[in-house]
């Protein structure tokens, strides 16, 4: 079996599929990409324990096929080769057993294949329960929630993002129990109810594949143990995290002591500088103080290095109470970064109570942070 394919087309698809390559694995075949050559299309498949990805290439101008068959080649290695080739077309020849020959201009590669009988049979089955949404919305959901998931496997359920579909709404929630991110989008079409938890890493890898073409459509198909994203010529499937996601609705406060609106860039710069005098590994705690004259001071101090006080005049302040709160700078910065608005509002409920952040132009996005008690 032989085929020739446009170099750029192959590289793009190999790169997409490679997001599911195993690096450390007891099954060497999972470090490979499987090529399935059919009469008029080529399938590329890769899989690790969490993610499986399949690309279908059909373009008749850029892909010429002679004969059917399949083989598995070391994935990272093949991508290195294709990346370093500047030929327009690459030819593959898989006539001999356990060997694939690759030709491009005056380069002549001989690749030992991996045992294809060991490659898992992966079903990319669609489901009756699915939603349609545009790429832009999916990317927003991912970018604005995954950072708030837990890195610790101690409570595995918190390492994923909860996707809750009701009739005409998708709500995504992430929390590591110190902060929470919540974003929802609404649908015109009616959907069945679904509640699943998708591994944060699977969403981040998917985000790398999603293009900047925000208007193209994706489908998410839900099965009891898997979610399948259909995007362009790709099938992107991830396992789900088992278990019941905690009910977080009661956590988000609705009555506020005071709401303070800031210029986002100014606030970020001030917090970024204040965080210099903290230690990310240990505490990373900074203080925010509101005075009766509506000025805000953000400060931090260490015994060894010194301290800093940053003064800010908020754009608005609903209630000029004297008020002091302490929190983790990293959580605050990550939360603010998730907003596209140039002005954001921080709503405080009390000195040791959770506060939330919203943005004028970030519809349906809420970031919540738990403060820390300091002496």
Give the interface with a copy of itself as residue ranges (CB under 8 A): 74, 77, 80-81, 84-86, 99, 106-112, 269-270, 272-273, 276, 304-312
Q: What are 361's two structure tokens?
A: 């132009």
Distance, in Å, from the CA atom of 296 to the CA atom of 311, rounded to the nearest integer, reads 6
* Least spacing, CB of residue 50 vs a copy of itself, in Å: 26
350, 257 in Cβ contact below 8 A?
yes
Q: How many CB atoms lie within 10 A of CB 225?
A: 10
* Least spacing, CB of residue 348 vs a copy of itself, in Å: 21
* Least spacing, CB of residue 318 vs a copy of itself, in Å: 22
Distance, in Å, from the CA atom of 350 to the CA atom of 62, rounded to the nearest integer, reads 63
* Least spacing, CB of residue 156 vs a copy of itself, in Å: 36
Please provide the size of the chain in residues: 375
Distance, in Å, from the CA atom of 358 to the CA atom of 163, rounded to the nearest integer, reads 20
38, 58 in Cβ contact below 8 A?
no
**Nearer Cβ to a copy of itself (104/227):** 104
Q: What are 191's two structure tokens?
A: 């959907």
What would you report as the CA-atom Rg of the chain, rounded to the nearest whole angstrom? 25
* Least spacing, CB of residue 312 vs a copy of itself, in Å: 7
* Least spacing, CB of residue 365 vs a copy of itself, in Å: 27
**Nearer Cβ to a copy of itself (86/281):** 86
220, 130 in Cβ contact below 8 A?
yes
Distance, in Å, from the CA atom of 152 to the CA atom of 166, rounded to the nearest integer, reads 29
**Nearer Cβ to a copy of itself (8/242):** 8
Instruction: Please choose, from the candidates 70, 107, 101, 72, the residue with its C-alpha nearest in 3D space to the C-alpha of residue 88.
Output: 107
**Nearer Cβ to a copy of itself (297/334):** 297
**Nearer Cβ to a copy of itself (56/333):** 333
**Nearer Cβ to a copy of itself (20/271):** 271
């Amino acid at each position: 079996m032989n085929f020739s394919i446009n170099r750029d087309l192959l590289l793009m698809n190999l790169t997409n599929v490679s997001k599911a390559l195993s690096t450390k694995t007891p099954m060497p075949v999972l470090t490979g990409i499987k090529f399935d050559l059919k009469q008029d299309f080529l399938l590329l498949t890769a899989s690790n324990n969490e993610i499986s990805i399949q690309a279908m290439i059909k373009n008749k101008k850029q892909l010429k096929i002679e004969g059917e068959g399949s083989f598995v080649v070391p994935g990272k290695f093949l991508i290195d080769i294709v990346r370093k080739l500047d030929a327009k077309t690459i030819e593959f020849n898989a006539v001999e057993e356990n060997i694939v020959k690759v030709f491009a201009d005056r380069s002549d590669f001989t690749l030992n294949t991996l045992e294809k009988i060991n490659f898992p049979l992966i079903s990319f089955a669609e489901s009756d329960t699915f939603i349609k949404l545009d790429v832009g919305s999916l990317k927003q959901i991912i970018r604005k929630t995954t950072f708030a998931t837990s890195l610790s496997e101690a409570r595995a359920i918190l390492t994923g993002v909860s996707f809750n579909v009701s009739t005409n709404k998708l709500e995504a929630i992430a929390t590591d129990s110190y902060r929470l991110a919540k974003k929802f989008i609404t649908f015109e079409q009616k959907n069945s109810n679904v509640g699943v938890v998708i591994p944060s890493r699977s969403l981040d890898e998917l985000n790398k594949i999603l293009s900047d073409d925000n208007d193209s459509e994706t489908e998410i198909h839900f099965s009891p143990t898997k979610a399948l994203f259909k995007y362009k010529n790709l099938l992107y499937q991830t396992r789900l995290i088992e278990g019941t996601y905690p009910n977080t609705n009661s956590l988000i406060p609705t009555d506020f002591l005071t709401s303070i609106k800031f210029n986002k860039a100014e606030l970020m710069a001030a917090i970024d500088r204040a965080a210099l005098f903290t230690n990310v590994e240990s505490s990373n705690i900074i203080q925010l103080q509101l005075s009766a004259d509506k000025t805000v001071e953000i400060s931090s101090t260490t015994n060894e290095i010194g301290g800093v006080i940053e003064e800010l005049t908020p754009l608005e302040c609903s209630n000029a109470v004297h008020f002091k709160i302490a929190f983790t700078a990293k959580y605050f910065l990550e939360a603010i970064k998730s907003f596209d608005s140039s002005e954001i509002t921080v709503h405080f409920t009390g000195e040791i109570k959770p506060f939330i952040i919203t943005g004028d132009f970030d519809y349906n996005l809420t970031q919540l942070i738990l403060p820390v008690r300091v002496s």
